[in-house]
Structure 1
């Protein structure tokens, strides 16, 4: 008993300590986090938000891929329906303002309608996804040049975000796709998925950047823009990507209902079609963000690097 008491007593500075237990030098090893540190409070808050997102999204998680894919292609369905219902007006615009020849204008519209309907349906059904995404990308590019909107900043930013949504669809299809020709030296499927997810994340945020630089400024718009810009940066770099994408889904959905409320505009009003177009395009970007919430930011992200280090 005496020997145990002697061992437990602290060693004085003058006594020899061959094992180094009395080393008074400051340790450079792990230290417990200070709960009063503002950075630790921010991290704790971020963890709580992530946990809340996981809890509330869990019941919807099995349905998120289908919801995301449908919202991404819904703008193409709407566009195809608009061309069909406004066929004569579309031909008149292409022939008189864009100087299309008579037969070429018809072929242009037929190609757009068929490609959008077939490719959008293929995306929803997860059939021939790669070809379907390429078809929809070609529609976005061809319409930009065909309607003369390629140099319109708002159109350009919105369609970059729509392309980001299509890239997310392509990335999602790569997750479950079986690897073929495994023995051939090439970039692995995982590496390709990482790069496509990075491109999709970056492209998705351009819609919100367009919202920031356009429109009338107010105090509310300033606050929404600041928080939204922070969330966009977090999505782009992949930091807390799931809950920052969830925040953007909520903000864009509320913004879409109150600002692009085309149903409240008289059918004969000239702004109705523009509001309707913006409404369904915003839904496509929301769909891309939903896919991001479901599949995560990918390997080239801060969230993934934190798991490694």
Structure 2
């Protein structure tokens, strides 16, 4: 990949990315956290306004009775809203992430997401984004003795960043489209663009996963995924009485959370377990 790193276009793109980071370094972490918790915030608010509908859905789906169905809604309501405010205020972030992680796991089982790969992959990506928030909250390891420097990297933080990057890939797996038809010549252009989108997206995903040109790759993915999200999941254009509005709204905020995770990658960098870090030792 050394040839890629020396390419003038890549070098110029890295300069642009560095300039963007310099100009946004004070607001990028906050914006990343806000985007990341957006899906939990929206779902918590939805639990409040759709209290009866959610209770009835759980009672009918699981036959668990009104009490357990009500408890499910209460846990989702206060757990998600509480976790969101804790993350935004940077107060007990580890507890907040554990709380939101528990909500994701509970919803995965309650809504039978385990049997739907697309929803399961998106929840895994959401967990990856939470791990990146947890990594951001961890301070570099302190020496046991004042004035004595620590040796080595903060390994837990590095592994959190690595796992978070890997899990974010699952979101992009749900965006890859494999619908090809050779019976409709008029659609050749659309098919070519679709293939191009899949290839470019897959390459960028791979670069983020292994931690090569990480900040640049993640920044491109932020722009690309944001564009796709506002184009494909424009729920605000759908009338409120149509069920499609809720589906698009769900997709929009989940994707926004993963965009927040990618912003966190841009802000934090790849961490110790990455090709970018190992290149410094060569």
- TM-score, normalised to structure 1, is 0.82
Aligned pairs, number:
268
Whether 2:212 is the aligned partner of 1:239: answer yes
Q: Aligned partners of 1:218 and 1:126: how far apart in 2?
A: 45
Number of the residue aligned with 1:6: none
2:276 is paired with a residue whose SS is helix
Number of the residue aligned with 1:208: 172
The runs of 5 or more residues in structure 1 that have no matched partner are 1-37
Greater fraction of residues in helix: 2
Q: 1:190 to 1:230 in 2, by over 3 A?
A: same
**1:97-112 superposed matches below 5 A:** 97-112=61-76
Q: Among residues 44, 49, 61, which one is paired with 2:8 in the alignment?
A: 44
Q: Give CA-to-partner distance per residue, 1:79-120, whole Å, 9 cap, x none.
A: 011111111111111111222221000011101111101111
Q: Aligned partners of 1:248 and 1:208: how far apart in 2?
A: 10
Whether 2:274 is the aligned partner of 1:306: answer no
**1:262-277 superposed matches below 5 A:** 262-277=235-250
Number of the residue aligned with 1:143: 107
Asked whether the 8 Å contact 2:177–2:198 carries over to 1, the reply is no
Q: Give CA-to-partner distance per residue, 1:20-63, whole Å, 9 cap, x none.
A: xxxxxxxxxxxxxxxxxx93685333222111101123211111
Q: Give CA-to-partner distance per residue, 1:221-256, whole Å, 9 cap, x none.
A: 221111010000000000001010011101110000
Q: Aligned partners of 1:258 and 1:166: how far apart in 2?
A: 25
Asked whether the 8 Å contact 1:91–1:105 carries over to 2, the reply is yes
Q: Aligned partners of 1:101 and 1:189: how far apart in 2?
A: 51
**1:182-193 superposed matches below 5 A:** 190-193=154-157
Q: Among residues 69, 78, 88, which one is paired with 2:33 in the alignment?
A: 69
Q: Aligned partners of 2:13 and 2:68: how far apart in 1?
A: 54
Asked whether the 8 Å contact 1:95–1:102 carries over to 2, the reply is yes
1:211 is paired with a residue whose SS is coil
Find the structure with the greater CA-based Rg. Answer: 1
The runs of 5 or more residues in structure 2 that have no matched partner are 181-189
Q: Among residues 278, 290, 293, which one is paired with 2:251 in the alignment?
A: 278
- TM-score, normalised to structure 2, is 0.89
Q: 1:95 to 1:292 in 2, by over 3 A?
A: same
Asked whether the 8 Å contact 1:129–1:170 carries over to 2, the reply is yes
**1:167-182 superposed matches below 5 A:** 167-174=131-138, 176=139, 179=142
Whether 2:190 is the aligned partner of 1:226: answer no
1:156 is paired with a residue whose SS is helix
